[in-house]
C-alpha cells in the first residue's frame, strides 16, 4: 500500500507494523541514492522516526501532519549555525515519498532527559537548569528572517482564543469545580502580552526534546531536537515547559533557571503572568501540574497553586 492511500485510521492501525515502515524507510533511502547498513526505529513521538547507521535521523510526516513538516523544515534552516551552546540537528535532505513529506537530518547524540531525569544529582539538575535557560535565550535571539511567513504568526488571536475557551477546555479535562469557578477571575487580560516582540517558540522545552551526555562523569545538556510545533509569540511562554514539566515547584531549580535566562527571580507580576500562560497553554493540564509535588496537591485555590508552581523568594 502506498503512503498516500493511508487514511488517518489506517495510519493509526499501522503504526506498530515494523515491517511496513522498514520497507518505506528503505524506499526513501533508495530514492535518495543512499547506502546504509542499519535502520532502527525510535519509540517516542507521533511521527515515524528512524535512526540510520547512528549518523542520520529520518523523520516521516503523515499527510495530516504536513504542517509540522513545513514548520520543522523552516526552523532547521533558520537555526543552522545560530545555536552554539548545544547541538541541534543539521538538515541534510528533504523531499516527498509516496505523497508524504520527510526530513533527513544529522543525529544529535545523547540520552533523552525523560529516560535519566531521576538519575541526576541535584547539582546536575542545577547545571541543567542554567544551561537550558541559556539555550532558550539563544533560540529567542535567532533572527526570524521570513519565519513570519512559514510559522504560525497569530499570537494575539491564539491568546484571545485560549482566553475565551479556557473554562470549557479545563472542564473537558476534569478540573475540580472549585478551580473552574476561579479561572475567569484569576486570568486578567492585563497580564497577557497580546502584542509582544515576536520570538521563535517551541512551546515545550520538555524532557522528551532534550538530550544529555556525560562529561567527566557528570550529566550535561547536549542537544535540543524536534521543532515541528514551533510558532511565534511571547518569549515568556517558552519558560513554562521546564518549570512545569521538570522543576515541579523546586525553588532552587526555578530560580537558577530564571536567573540564567535573565530574570533575577520571580516578582508578583511575572508569577501572575506565567500562571496565566500556564492556564492558557495549548497543552495545559492543571490537574497534572498539581499532581507533581506534595505541596501542589494541597492547593485549595488557583492563586495558591500559582504560588506553589511559581514560588516567590
Residues in the chain: 313
User: Do residues 59 and 106 lie in contact, with contact meaning Cβ atoms separated by under 8 Å?
Assistant: no
Q: Give the per-residue pLDDT at 313.
A: 64
- The answer, as to whether pTM is greater than 0.85, is yes
Q: Which three cell numbers stand for residue 17?
A: 507494523
Those residues whose C-beta lies under 8 Å from the C-beta of residue 25, and which sit 6 or more positions away, are 39, 50, 52, 58, 60
In CATH terms, 3-106 corresponds, of 3.30.360.10, 3.30.200.20, 3.40.1010.10, 1.10.510.10, to 3.30.200.20
- Burial of 305: CB neighbours in 10 Å, binned 0-12, 13-18, 19+: buried
The sign one gets for the Cα dihedral 14, 7, 51, 212 is: negative
CA dist 51 and 58 (Å) reads 7
**The pLDDT value given to residue 112:** 95
- Judged by DSSP in three states, 44 sits in coil
| CB neighbourhood size of 103 (10 A) | 23
Where does residue 298 rank: exposed (0-12), middle (13-18), buried (19+ CB within 10 A)?
exposed
Contact indicator for 217, 137 with CB cutoff of 8 Å: no
263 touches 243 (CB < 8 A): no
The class level of CATH for 111-309 reads: alpha beta
Domain boundaries of the chain, sorted by first residue? 3-106, 111-309
Q: What secondary structure, in 3-state letters, does 23-45 show?
A: HHHHHHHHHHCCCCCCEEECCCC
CA–CA gap between residue 223 and residue 111 (Å, rounded): 9
pLDDT at res. 13: 92
Phi and psi, residue 106, nearest 5°? -70, 150
3-state secondary structure of 174: coil
> Whole-angstrom Cα distance, residue 96 to residue 230?
21
Written as tens digits, the pLDDT of the chain (313 aa) is 899 999 999 999 999 999 999 999 999 999 999 999 999 999 877 899 999 999 999 999 999 999 999 999 999 999 998 999 999 999 999 999 999 999 999 999 999 999 999 999 999 999 999 999 999 999 999 999 999 999 999 999 999 999 999 999 999 999 999 999 999 999 998 999 999 999 999 977 999 999 999 999 999 999 999 999 999 999 999 999 999 999 999 999 999 999 999 997 778 999 999 999 999 999 999 999 989 888 889 999 999 999 999 997 6
Distance between CA atoms of residues 87 and 222, nearest Å: 6
Q: What residues have CB less than 8 Å from 89, skipping those under 6 apart?
A: 57, 76, 105, 106, 107, 108, 225
DSSP H or E stretch at residue 231:
strand 231-233
For residues 95 and 88, give the distance between their C-alpha atoms in angstroms, rounded to a whole number. 20
Q: Half-sphere exposure (CA, 13 Å, Cβ side) for 257?
A: 27
Specify the pLDDT at position 63.
94
Predicted local confidence at residue 1, as pLDDT: 86
Tell me the C-alpha distance between 20 and 246, whole Å: 36
Cβ–Cβ < 8 Å for 167, 279:
no
Quote the cell numbers at residue 242: 521546564
Three cell numbers at 304?
Answer: 495558591
Return the sign of the alpha-carbon dihedral for residues 297, 300, 303, 304: negative
The span from the first CA to the last CA of the chain, in angstroms, equals 60
Amino acid at each position: 500500500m502506498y503512503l498516500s492511500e493511508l487514511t488517518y485510521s489506517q495510519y493509526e492501525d499501522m503504526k506498530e507494523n515494523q515491517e511496513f515502515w522498514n520497507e518505506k524507510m528503505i524506499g526513501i533511502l533508495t530514492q535518495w541514492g543512499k547506502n546504509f547498513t542499519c535502520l532502527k526505529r525510535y519509540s517516542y513521538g507521533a511521527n515515524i522516526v528512524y535512526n540510520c547507521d547512528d549518523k542520520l535521523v529520518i523523520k516521516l510526516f503523515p499527510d495530516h501532519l504536513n504542517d509540522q513538516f513545513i514548520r520543522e523544515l523552516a526552523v532547521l534552516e533558520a537555526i543552522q549555525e545560530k545555536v552554539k551552546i548545544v547541538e541541534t540537528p543539521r538538515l541534510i535532505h528533504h523531499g516527498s515519498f509516496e505523497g508524504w513529506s520527510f526530513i533527513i537530518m544529522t543525529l544529535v547524540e545523547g540520552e533523552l532527559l525523560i529516560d535519566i531525569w531521576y538519575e541526576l544529582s541535584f547539582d546536575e539538575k542545577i547545571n541543567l537548569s542554567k544551561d537550558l535557560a541559556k539555550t532558550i535565550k539563544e533560540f529567542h535571539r535567532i533572527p526570524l528572517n521570513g519565519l513570519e511567513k512559514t510559522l504560525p504568526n497569530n499570537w494575539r488571536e491564539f491568546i484571545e482564543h485560549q482566553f475565551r475557551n479556557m473554562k470549557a477546555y479545563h472542564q473537558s479535562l476534569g478540573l475540580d469545580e472549585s478551580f473552574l469557578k476561579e479561572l475567569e477571575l484569576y486570568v486578567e487580560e492585563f497580564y497577557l502580552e497580546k502584542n509582544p516582540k515576536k520570538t521563535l517558540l517551541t512551546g515545550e522545552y520538555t524532557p522528551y526534546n532534550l538530550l544529555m551526555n556525560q562529561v567527566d562523569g557528570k550529566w550535561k545538556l547536549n542537544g535540543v531536537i524536534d521543532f515541528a510545533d514551533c510558532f511565534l509569540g511571547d518569549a515568556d511562554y517558552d519558560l513554562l515547559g521546564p518549570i512545569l514539566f521538570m522543576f515541579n515547584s523546586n525553588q532552587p531549580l526555578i530560580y537558577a533557571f530564571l536567573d540564567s535566562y535573565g530574570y533575577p527571580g520571580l516578582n508578583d507580576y511575572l508569577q501572575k503572568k506565567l500562571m496565566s500562560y500556564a492556564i492558557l497553554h495549548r497543552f495545559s493540564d492543571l490537574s497534572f501540574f498539581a499532581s507533581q509535588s506534595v505541596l501542589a496537591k494541597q492547593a485549595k485555590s488557583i492563586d495558591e497553586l500559582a504560588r506553589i508552581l511559581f514560588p516567590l523568594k
